[in-house]
A and B are shown apart, each in its own frame.
Chain A
Amino acid sequence: MSSPAASTDALGALATARGASAPAARRRAQSPLARTGWRRGLVGWLLVAPLVLVLVPFFVAPIIGVVIASFLEGDGFGGILPVFTLDNYAGVFGSALTYNLYYETLKFTLLTWIFTLVIGFWVSYFLVFHVRSKLLAIGLFLLCTVPFWTSNIIRMISWIPLLGKEGLINSVLVGTGLASQPVEFLLFSSFAVVVAYVHQLTIFMIVPIFNAMARIDKRVLEAAVDAGASRFAVVSRIVLPLSKSGIALGSIFVVSIVMGDFFVVKVMSGGGSASVVGAFYEDIAVLQYPTAAASACVLTAVVMLIVALILRTVDIRREIAR
C-alpha cells in the first residue's frame, strides 16, 4: 500500500495497544484470588467515606429537603407549615411567566453552547494539531486556563468599561466615524449576556476537548491523508468522533452552569432579561420558600434530564479514567 515505514508504525501502535491490555487482563484474572469480594468492597467504601460524608448531608439531604418543601404550604413569613399541597407546582406550571423564563434561559444556554463549542473545538484543534512544539502547546494551553482560576464576577464586570455607552468600543466606533452615535445594544442586552457567558465558559470546552484530542494517535491522521482523505474529511470523520467524549464533558459543564446561573443575566442584561434561577431567587427574597422550592425542583429535573441525555452518548467514567 504505502511505504514500509508507515506499516511498521501501524504495527507498533497495534503492539502497544495489545501490551497495554495484557496486564489489565492478568489483573482481572488475579484479583478474585488476591482478595475476596466483600473485603474489596469494604476497602473501597472506607476510601470513599469522606466523599460520602460530604455528599449525603450537603447534596442528598438538601435536595430531599427542597423536594419536601415544594409539597408543603408556606405561611408567607418565611415559615413552612406541615400541610401537603400541590399548589406550588400548579403555580409553576400554570403561569405563562414560567414558560417565558425557560424560553429565555434555554435560548442563552443554546447560544452559549454553540459559541463555546465552536471556539473551544477550533482552539483545541489548533493547539493539538498545528502547534508543532509540545512545550509551546502546553504553554499556550495554560495561557487559556489561567483566567478560569480567577473570579468569574470580576471577569464579567470587566466588560462594562468596554461595552458601555461611553465604553471603549463605542468611543472607537464614534471616533472613526463608523457610527454616528454610540451603539446601545452592546451593554445591558442579550448580546452582553452571551458575551459574558462565552468569555467565562469556553475554557470548560477547551480543557476536555484538548485532552481528548491529545490522545488521538497522529499516525491515524497521516494514514487518512495517505489514503486520500481531504482536510475536511479528516476533521469530520476522525477528529470529531474521537473528541466526542471531550465535547460531551464540556457540554455538561456549559449547560449546567448557564442553566444554574442568575447573576450574569441580572447584571449584563441590566434587568432586561430574567432567568429561571433569578425568578426563584426573588421568591426567596420575599420569603416564599415553598414556591421557590417547587420552581427549583422543576429546574433541577430539567438540568438533570439534559445531562442524562448527554451522558447517554458517552461512557464518561471510562473516558476520564482512560
Chain B
Amino acid sequence: MTTAPAAPSRRRAARSSNARPWTFYVLATLFTLYVVALYGPMACIYVLSFQDIRGGLVFPMKGLSLHWFVDLFTQVRTGDVAGSFDRSIKLAVIVTIITVVASFLAGLAFRRRFPGDSVLFYLMIASLVAPGLVLGIGVGLIFQFLGLEPSWYTSALGAQLSWTLPFGVLVMFAVMSRFDRSWEEAARDLGASALQTVRRVVVPILAPGIVAVALFGFTLSYDEFARTLQTSGSLNTLPLEIWSMTLNVTSPSLYALGTVTTIVSFVIIGACLGAIAYLQRRRAGASANH
C-alpha cells in the first residue's frame, strides 16, 4: 500500500506488455514439448501401420501398403475385430443417449437444493472414483446372484453408465453455471409453461454444452476398459479386443487397429466440435437479428 515502489513497477509493467517476458519463452517451450510428446508417439504407430507384409513393431518403416488393415479384418487369429467394433459403436450410442438425457435432467435438478441432494452428489463422486475393476466384479456378482447372464447390452451398459453419468453431470454443472436464470424467468413471465420453457429456452441455449456431454458419453464408453472387462459377457467390445491383442499379437495389425479406432474417434470429435461451433454461430446470428 506504499506509493514509492508503484511508479517504477508500473513502468516495468508497461515495458513488459510490449516485449514478452523470459518466462513466456520457457513456458512456450514446455508447451511445445508437451504437445509433441502428446501426439508424437501416436503419429508413430499410425505411420507404422501402413507397412507391407515385412513390417515389424519398430522403425525403420518396411514398405508401404494396406496389408495390415486387410489382415486385421480377415485373419481369424486377430479375433473378432469387426464384431467387437460393431458392438462398441452400438453400445456407445446407447450410452450417449442415456447419458445426455439423464445428465441434463440431473443438471436441472441440482440447480436448486432439495432434500438429500448432497448425499446423491457424493454418491455420484464415489461412483466416479471407485476402481473400475471393483465395480465390474460387483456387477458380475450381482448378476450371478440374480441368475442373469451378463452381456454387453445389460451389465456392461450399466457398468459404463456408472462412470459416464457422473462425468456427464459434472460437465452439465459447468455448462449450466453459465446459464442466466433471468431468461427462464422471463419466459415464465411471458406465459410459457415449465415444459415450454425447457424446450424453447433452456435446451436451445444450452445446446452446445449438451453436444459436449454427448461427446463425453460416446468417447468414454467407446474407450472404456476396466468396468467392461468383467461385465461384457462372452462377446468382446473393441477396447477388450485391443487389450487381448496387446497380449497376443506382435504384428503391425495391432497398430492398424489403433489407426482405425483413432480415425473413428477423430470423426466423432470433429462432428461434435463442428456441431458446437455451428450451434454457437446460429445462436449469435439469432441474437443479432432481434
Contact = CB atoms under 8 A, between A and B. Distances in A.
Interface of A: 1-3, 23, 27, 31, 40-41, 43-45, 47-52, 54-55, 57-66, 69, 80, 119, 122-123, 125-127, 130, 140, 142-144, 146-155, 157-162, 164, 166-168, 171, 199, 202, 211, 222, 225-228, 231, 252, 256, 259-263, 267, 277, 280-281, 284, 289, 292-293, 296-297, 299-300, 303-304, 307, 311, 316-317, 320-322
A69 B103 CA distance: 32
B149 interface: no
A2 B120 contact: no
B248 to A, nearest CB: 12
Interface of B: 1-3, 5-6, 9-10, 12-13, 20-21, 23-24, 27-28, 30-31, 34-35, 37-42, 44-45, 48, 57-59, 98, 101-103, 105-106, 108-112, 114-118, 120-121, 123-135, 137-139, 141-142, 145, 158-159, 161-162, 165, 169-170, 173-174, 176-177, 181-182, 215, 219, 222-223, 225-226, 230, 239, 242-243, 246, 254, 257-258, 261-262, 265-266, 268-269, 273
Contacts of A284: 137, 230
Interface centre among A151, A280, A289 (most CB of B within 10 A): A151
Contact of B42 (A44, A147, A261, A311): A147
Contact of A304 (B126, B222, B230): B126
A2 B9 CA distance: 11
Contact of B105 (A50, A227, A304): A50
Nearest to B108: A47
Given A54-B102, A296-B137, 10 more contacts: A49-B105, A54-B162, A59-B127, A59-B162, A130-B27, A144-B38, A149-B269, A150-B42, A260-B131, A320-B173
Contacts of A226: 6, 9-10, 13
Contacts of A281: 133
Nearest to A127: B31
Contact of B39 (A45, A140, A147): A147
Contacts of A45: 109, 114, 116
Interface centre among B3, B58, B121 (most CB of A within 10 A): B58
A157 B254 contact: yes
Contacts of A167: 58-59
Given A48-B106, A62-B141, A161-B48, A23 B225 contact: no
Contacts of A166: 58
B264 to A, nearest CB: 9
Nearest to A195: B37
A277 B57 CA distance: 29
A51 B102 contact: yes
Contacts, number: 291
B97 to A, nearest CB: 11
A227 B2 CA distance: 8
Nearest to A147: B38
B181 A27 contact: yes
Contacts of A59: 123, 126-127, 130, 135, 162
Given A58-B139, A161-B57, A296-B137, A151 B261 contact: yes
B138 A63 contact: yes
A123 B30 contact: yes
Counting from the closest, the 10 A-B pairs by CB-CB distance are A62-B138, A44-B114, A260-B131, A47-B109, A256-B129, A58-B158, A50-B102, A158-B41, A126-B27, A228-B5
A226 B9 CA distance: 6
A130 B45 contact: no
A320 B131 contact: no
Contacts of B1: 1, 227
A162 B126 contact: no
Contacts of A256: 128-131
Contact of A296 (B103, B117, B133, B273): B133
Contacts of A231: 21, 23
B59 A41 contact: no
A299 B138 CA distance: 14
B142 to A, nearest CB: 5
A259 B8 CA distance: 51
A211 B1 CA distance: 30
Contacts of B106: 47-48, 50-51
Given A54-B161, A55-B127, A164-B58, A150 B223 contact: yes
Contacts of A321: 110-111, 173-174, 176-177
